Homo-oligomer: A and B are copies of this chain.
């Protein structure tokens, strides 16, 4: 409400003096500890209010809790991550905990630095999102502070995880494309550690699901995997290459929505439409629903994932020790970026005209 003066430098000592009690008494009132008479609580509360006292988190951190949860996030420019934050902050509203975010500059040593920064600040719990932070390192870390990893499918002992069922989601996409009649389906994904089988990274699992689906459909020889070092940044270029190649796919399944947007751009730049090349993404970012984009995608409930992560953390702080691994079900959302392929022999407009 009204601007209560900022922290200034009023300490617990000042409050104690103002209320005519000891520091310990004030501390008890703040912490809702045992051994406080209603009268004293009254006096102390009044003094706190009058002086605008706010406990120093640093001083608290010296002995125990900081009432701070930290979340480390790579590339906030990808709208999926803010969804996590929305859920996480919502889950904390009303609790005494405050969420702080450490951005992980993907250019440098990724998540490590950011998570370290959070630990240095003695957060009471850490949510990790960068997919490339080693599980062993997280395990070691989880001996010190509760940890939840969002997104990666490691079923670790020491820390909890919240994931979306990436395999099921990717299979839904493939089934949808098959049902439309597509056979030449390319998959656009990243390179290196992000797609190593068994890494548990979403991209890797979606890639594997793509491969399996193709094989199961008897299309093993048509598997086409386009890789880009930085999928998001290079999606457009990579897609252009794919589209101008001799064997143009009739559908492109991108491992995320952001690269899928680049693919859509490439399709437009190549003078093609959704009737020529179907495009599907993954994540379910909001803009995908816009009529100008209308991207078929798999919606992951990011808010729910963020909320779950916070809840798991609070449980850990409350004392739980055995690991929990939550899986959220994704939903395929079909939009107009995926349509049936043109009938054979009608690969281009001119061809179609000549045929009739």
Q: Which residue of B lies closest to A108 (CB)?
A: B93
Q: Does A41 touch B at the CB level, under 8 Å? A: no
- Asked if B100 and A121 make an inter-chain contact with CB atoms under 8 angstroms apart, the answer reads yes
CA distance A121 to B6 in the complex (A): 12
Q: 0/1 per residue, A52-63, Cβ < 8 Å to B?
A: 001111111110
Q: Which residue of B lies closest to A101 (CB)?
A: B101
Q: 0/1 per residue, A103-134, Cβ < 8 Å to B?
A: 10101110010011101111000000000001
Of the candidates B5, B56, B144, the one whose C-beta lies within 8 Å of that of A120 is B56
Q: Which of the segments A238-246, A289-297, A322-330 contacts the partner chain? A: A289-297
- Give the total of A residues in contact with B, Cβ under 8 Å: 65
Q: Does A1 touch B at the CB level, under 8 Å? A: yes
Q: Does A98 touch B at the CB level, under 8 Å? A: yes
- Asked if A119 and B6 make an inter-chain contact with CB atoms under 8 angstroms apart, the answer reads yes
Secondary structure of the A contact surface, majority rule: mixed
- Asked if B120 and A54 make an inter-chain contact with CB atoms under 8 angstroms apart, the answer reads yes
Q: Does A189 touch B at the CB level, under 8 Å? A: no
With contact pairs A140-B3, A287-B261 given, residues A85 and B112 touching in the complex (Cβ less than 8 Å): no
Of the candidates B77, B268, B293, the one whose C-beta lies within 8 Å of that of A79 is B77
CA distance A66 to B105 in the complex (A): 20
A3 to chain B, nearest CB (A): 4
CA distance A291 to B236 in the complex (A): 12
Q: Does A136 touch B at the CB level, under 8 Å? A: yes
Q: Does A89 touch B at the CB level, under 8 Å? A: yes
- Which residues of B lie under 8 Å from residue A57 when comparing CB positions? 58, 61, 120-122
- Asked if B137 and A3 make an inter-chain contact with CB atoms under 8 angstroms apart, the answer reads yes
- Asked if A140 and B7 make an inter-chain contact with CB atoms under 8 angstroms apart, the answer reads no
With contact pairs A66-B58, A264-B290 given, residues A103 and B119 touching in the complex (Cβ less than 8 Å): no
A6, A121, A261, most chain B CB atoms within 10 A = A6
- Which residues of B lie under 8 Å from residue A176 when comparing CB positions? none
Q: 0/1 per residue, A62-73, Cβ < 8 Å to B?
A: 100010100000
Can you name 16 A-B residue pairings with CB atoms under 8 Å? A3-B137, A6-B115, A8-B144, A57-B58, A58-B122, A59-B61, A61-B61, A76-B82, A77-B83, A77-B86, A93-B107, A98-B120, A100-B100, A100-B101, A101-B102, A287-B287
- Give the 10 A-B residue pairs with the shortest CB-CB distance, closest first: A58-B61, A3-B137, A292-B292, A101-B101, A76-B82, A6-B141, A268-B291, A58-B58, A98-B117, A100-B100
Can you name 9 extra interface pairs (CB under 8 A) apart from A58-B62, A59-B62? A56-B122, A58-B59, A76-B76, A77-B82, A89-B105, A99-B102, A101-B101, A264-B291, A287-B287
